[in-house]
Each structure stands twice: as structure tokens, then as C-alpha cells.
Amino acid sequence: MTVRQCPGIRVEAEQATAVQDAVVVEETIALYLNDELVTELVASPVNLEELGVGLVVDEGLAEGIQSVRSSSGVVRVYARSVRARTWRIESSGGIAALNTVPQVSSTITLTPQDVLSVINETTSELWRQTGAVHCSVLFLENRLVIKRVDVGRHNTIDKVVGFAILNQIDLSRCIIGCTGRQPSGMVSKVANAGVPVIVSKAAPTYNGILTANDARITLICFARGNRFTIYTHPHRIRDLSGEATADAMKCSSS
């Protein structure tokens, strides 16, 4: 169950009304890699096997996923090659693995309309009911492959990546769209997965932009309505007109 009904008192123009609101449920999930506890995280209690596989790959913890199983709030991932890890504190207060971020190689390109098509899919019925979840989507060749929602923005990325890995989808040909802001940790997840383009409704951070630039990821944020802002590697967006050039895309250090 991901939603429960909870009573409340809604006040509008000083008038009080009894209401029953849909409220999301979160649980603490324990993640094991080759039977060693990696971390405990708060997540929506659905699609947990995708979450486990995606987190292991997105944090660069292992290669060669062999199997995954989940039961009673515990996810166990097994992989052939496990990397040593050091943790850092993320902007959300969570932890992320401190590993070198790889450079993404991909030949895909997309049009401005493709960007807007991706971000238009980052809505969900659960958000309309509760206003308390994030959403990520995975596109392959202009087609929506999977959509996942969760109380954590990081978790939605892990879940769509986990789905792709479990279904043997080539992530270098994919685009991720999401509702969450893009600090370095979020961008690093996508880089470790090998996805070349991120489209977000929200803002980037300075370190998020630097990480995307180093990882050769096209980072697009503030995608709303008919507009968006490209922060890194604009060569993947074709059919643009106007006077803006890639030479102007240098972050100031001051």
C-alpha cells in the first residue's frame, strides 16, 4: 500500500471543514549487496527490486548484476564485481558513494519538442492525489519505456534505471526525465548508469552543472510549458535557432 487516508481540518477563508486526505506511505528499506549491508533508505514500498539494482549501479557500487530479491523491507542484490566505496553526504541529507564519475558516450540527439514530450510525462496520479511524490521517466527512441514515482527523488532515478537493467535496455540510447532538482549526486547517478541526457522540471545546482559537464551529459532543467534551459553539452539538441552559442556556457566561479 502506498497511500492511506488520514483525517484533517482544512481551513479556507477562516472556515474549518473536516476532510479525509490521501497521504503517501514510506518505509525504511535495507539494501544488501552480496549479503553485506550497504545502507538503509526511506522509499515508497513498491518496485523494490528495481530500486535495489538501480541504486547499486547508479552509485557505481558493482558491475554485472546477477540477481535480486526482496522481502519484508529487505532487498538483496548479487553482483559479480563489487567496488570499494566511500560515502559522502548528499544535498538532501542522504548518502551517496564517492566514486569517480565516468564520461558518458552516446550518439543520440533530440529536438526541442522531444524534450517537452519527455517532461510532459513526469506527472502521476499519485502526485495529483497527494502532492508528495517525485516522478522519473525513461525514454528510448522517443518512446516512454517506464515511469516510476516515489517519496524520494533519488529513488525514482534508481527505479527507472533498475527497470532498464533488469529488462536489458541499452541506457546509452535513453533519456531520463524527472521532477527533482539536479545536484551533483543526482547527475552522478545518471552518469554511472550511462544515460546521456537528463531533463528536469526543477533547478540544477552549481556542482550538478559541473558534474554533468565533466560526465558529458546534456543537462536540461526548468523544463516547463514550452521552455527549458540547457546547461551542458547542447550539441545533442538539434533544430535550435537563435544567437545562443555553446561558447557562452561557462559557469562563473565567483
Domain residue limits, the chain? 27-97, 112-242
Q: How far, in Å, CA of 190 to CA of 188, rounded?
A: 5
Res 102 pLDDT > 80: yes
Res 15 pLDDT > 90: yes
Specify which residues 59 forms β-bridges with.
none
Chain center to CA of 232: 18
Please tell me the predicted confidence (pLDDT) of residue 83: 82
pLDDT tens-digit readout, 125-143:
999 999 999 999 999 999 9
pTM for the structure as a whole: 0.91
Torsions phi, psi for 21 (to 5 deg) = -105, 145
Name the band, by pLDDT with cuts 50, 70 and 90, for residue 203: very high
Torsion over CA: 214, 41, 165, 167 (sign): negative
DSSP state of 182: B
Neighbours of 36 (CB within 10 A): 9
**42 to 60, 100, 132, 173: CA distances (angstroms):** 20, 25, 14, 30
Res 88 pLDDT > 70: no
Query: Residue 155: which H helix or E strand, with range?
Result: helix 153-166
Q: Which CATH superfamily is domain 112-242 in?
A: Cytidine Deaminase, domain 2 (3.40.140.10)
Q: Which fold has domain 27-97?
A: Ubiquitin-like (UB roll) (3.10.20)
CB 245 within 8 A of CB 237: no
pLDDT tens-digit readout, 61-86:
998 999 999 999 999 999 998 887 66
Please tell me the predicted confidence (pLDDT) of residue 110: 97
pLDDT tens-digit readout, 34-46:
999 999 999 999 9
Neighbours of 199 (CB within 10 A): 27
Res 245 pLDDT > 80: no
Torsions phi, psi for 241 (to 5 deg) = -120, 165
